[in-house]
Structure 1
Amino acid sequence: MAAHLVCLTNEGGVPLFSRSSGSAKPLAFAEQGMLYGVQMFAQNHGVTLQTTDTEESKVVWRVFHDSIVLVLVQGDDGSSHVHANTLLEHVFQTMVMYLGLDTISRLRNIERLRRDLRVCYPVIDSLLEDVHVFDSICETVEVVSTTEVASLQEPLESFVTECDSTFGCVHCNGRLLVATPKWWSLSGQEMMLLCRFIRSLPKNSASDIPVYLPHASPKVPHRLISVHLLSGLVVSVLCLDVPTLSTVQSKLIETHWLPHFETLKGCLRASVTNIPKTIPIDPGILGFLVINTEQHKCISSCELPIVEGSMAERRPLTVQKRRRILTSFYRNTVGSIFSVIHSPERKDPSGDRPSTFLHAAEETYMNALDHKCFAINSKDFRLFAIFSSAVPHHAVRYVSLQFLENLKKDKAFTDLREKKS
């Protein structure tokens, strides 16, 4: 879905950057000025302008800390405006992650800020584009489901301790593979944005970059040291003055990770399809997204193999189409049928609307010519699944319930967060 994002100063409407996704052409300067003018006209008359709809698009405005205005223009897919507001929240916190809250909220040098914001573009573009993970739309970090994770916890803990830190993790093809309890204790948004940032780093490289934690430390930066162990597999640690990047590369990487390279290779292979090996999956399921709303984790896969002779073989869907369907189903369910669950650290849930129902929906479904969808809203977990159209209606609910119960037991949902005293 094509989208335009415009960032301006709240005082004066000076453009800071403009990004576009899909086949959309960048907005002209006059169009950016018009979007700001409408918002400023409303603001001068004591009105907070949040959203408006046209025949084909929706426009969302957000003002952050009375300094930055973000405007999003995207096609109207019928979903709740809460998803557009969540995207703008992610974009602003990306800016904070790179530059710090003080720099963003106190606009001292506009030209320098405009130049500095360029480092944010890779993460912002990934938030605007359709990617291979669902983390941003559900404010969680996407994890890898594999039985080999347990054997990597000890070397990670040892490596992070040698780095004089308690925050460390390993990412695998854009998903979080294993992390320390302190890392799991970060907010879902922080883990998601750090994952996006690490994924944007050059392949087969090592880096030492200062980052701010949008909720835990928005004004004081930490060093984020990241080293590619294999292509697509990165170990990262948040630390202070020590160690140096050269020390990590020359002394710590080989000692702690070389004995586990075969395990790491196995994790890389498992992350491609991300199918839990210990969980039976009905051949009629084409894709799924399961969210642990309490731990802010999610697991997804749209690359479930089609079993020869199964019902799913009658009308096969490409992986790309499965992903589009699952994303659309989520966006049109959450905010209208299911309530929105934000990260607890999010102070401004703009766009949320109180439900007009007297009860909370627990299940919903959708039928189409070439597929069926089913969603379950239970305590701490949500499941969104795509089925072959050949699966009988009465079987979809039963299979979904059984599948969710099995997924709840997956080791990826073991609570590893640091216990608060």
Structure 2
Amino acid sequence: MVFFLGIEDLLNLKNVERIKKELKVCFPSIDTILDGLSPREEWDEFCDMTNCTDIFCCLERQTFEGILNCFTESVGTVFGSLRINSKVAAATSNWWTLDSVELLQIHLLLANEKNSTGIDIPIYLPVRSPKTPFRLVYWKLTQHADICLLCGPTPSLAELEKEVKRFWRTAFALLKSAESCYPANIPQDVVLDKNVLSYLVINTEKRRSLSSLSPHMGDDHSHLTPLRKRDILRTFYKTVVGTMICLPGPNDSHDSQEVFMNFEYYSLHALVSEVYLILTLYPSGLHNYYLRSITKSTLKTLTNEKTFKWT
């Protein structure tokens, strides 16, 4: 409610009926949060459950960050991100200073605007700016890529459109190349063990996550569709986190913690190592010591700083 109306309107309820009407703008985001119990079919993110930003890894990231920094500077803001398939592919350094709750609220709002080519609406940041609104500007670059800005009253939407075209029209080929990393969400030259059917890696220190429901081209496990894999990982996370294993914190000893679950058609392994939690889905019939070896290798690959800058 603070995100849409600001803290002052909520504390000074002089006109309850007006507030009731204005609160209707919150309903889509509330519905999306409640949908987390049974997400809609196209939902392949985990941020609503983990409170971590979903990341998209591509080789073009550094180039995108350079364009994004120049673009945001030209329009007078320090808050900007480029998203591919609703996952953050590049962002300004100040974007990551926003509270994880604020980043989640922005994502939930944009999740209900997928069919829009652009939006320009006032929002309040519950932690950073609960009294003074920012403009949330969202602009679709391609079918699967968009940019998101937080800015002040200027520039106008028309001026922003000119700057979008000026900075991003030469990047369309790069955007198309980056989009080809989906649904693995990692560069195509990064190969994971064929037994990894899906994964979720969380950096608990930076509140970011990397995941894929189809990490290999031409997955042939027909009995486990991407939708089914998503539901399995979400259930696994809710079952083990906070009960069987704890997320790593600043005072932890960083000792590894792990959980195995084996079923008729699949196996699951959760591993905590340093600041990371990784959940991995495997086919059934593999020994736990083999699962442990693959999980550790997968985590090492996906958190390699030379290839993956999301960590």
Pair 1:115-2:21 in alignment:
yes
Residue in structure 1 matched with residue 117 of structure 2 by the alignment: 205
Match of 1:390 in 2: 285
Q: CA deviation at 1:301?
A: 0.7
Q: TM-score, normalised by structure 2?
A: 0.89
1:327 offset after TM fit, Å?
0.3
Contact 2:247 2:277 in 1 (8 A): no
Q: Which residue in the other structure is 1:180 paired with?
A: 92
Instruction: Spell out the pairing of 1:11-410 with structure 2 (5 A cutoff).
Output: 95-129=1-35, 130=39, 131-201=43-113, 203-249=115-161, 251-305=162-216, 313=221, 316-340=223-247, 362-409=257-304
Contact 1:293 1:341 in 2 (8 A): yes
Matched to 2:206, the amino acid is: Q
Q: For structure 1, which runs of at least 5 residues remain unmatched after alignment?
A: 1-94, 345-358, 416-421
- The aligned amino acid for 1:299 is L
The CA distance in 2 between the partners of 1:175 and 1:414, in whole Å, is 12
Compared with structure 1, are the counterparts of its residues 202 and 372 closer, same or farther at alpha carbon in structure 2 (3 Å cutoff)?
Answer: closer
Residue by residue over 1:207-257, the C-alpha shift from the partner in whole angstroms, topping out at 9 and shown as x without a partner, is 2211111211112111112211112322121111211111111x2011100
In structure 1, the residue corresponding to 2:182 is in which secondary structure? Answer: helix
Q: For the structure 1 residues 381 and 305, does the alpha-carbon distance in structure 2 shift closer, same or farther, using more than 3 Å as the test?
A: same
Return the offset for 1:307: 6.5
Q: Please tell me whether the aligned partners of residues 98 and 128 of structure 2 are also in contact (alpha carbons under 8 angstroms).
A: yes
How far off is 1:103 after superposition? 2.3
1:327-351 CA-to-partner distances (Å, cap 9, x unmatched) read: 0000011110222579x9xxxxxxx
Residues 414 and 189 of structure 1: CA distance in aligned 2, closer, same or farther (over 3 Å): same
Residues in 1 aligned to 2:304 and 2:209: alpha-carbon distance in whole angstroms:
13
Deviations 1:310-340 (A, max 9, x none): xx75x74111111111000000111102225
Contact 1:145–1:271 (CA<8 Å) still a contact in 2? no
Q: Is the 8 A contact 2:3 2:124 kept in 1?
A: yes
TM-score normalized by structure 1?
0.67
Cα distance 1:238–1:379, how it changes in 2: closer, same or farther (>3 A)?
Answer: same
What is residue 32 of structure 1 aligned with on the other side?
Answer: none
Report the count of equivalent residues: 302
Given that 1:292 and 1:413 are in contact with CA atoms closer than 8 Å, whether structure 2 keeps it comes out as no
3-state DSSP class of the match of 1:128?
helix
Q: Secondary structure of 2:50's match?
A: coil
Kept in 1: contact 2:102–2:125 (CA 8 A) = yes
The alignment-based identity, stated in percent, is: 28
Question: Structure 2 CA distance, aligned partners of 1:405 and 1:372?
Answer: 20
Gaps of 5+ in 2: none
Q: Is the 8 A contact 1:337 1:361 kept in 2?
A: no
Residues of 1 paired with 2:218 and 2:310: CA distance? 30
C-alpha distance in 2 between matches for 1:386 and 1:152: 31
Structure 2 contact 118–138 (Cα < 8 Å) conserved: yes
Larger radius of gyration: 1
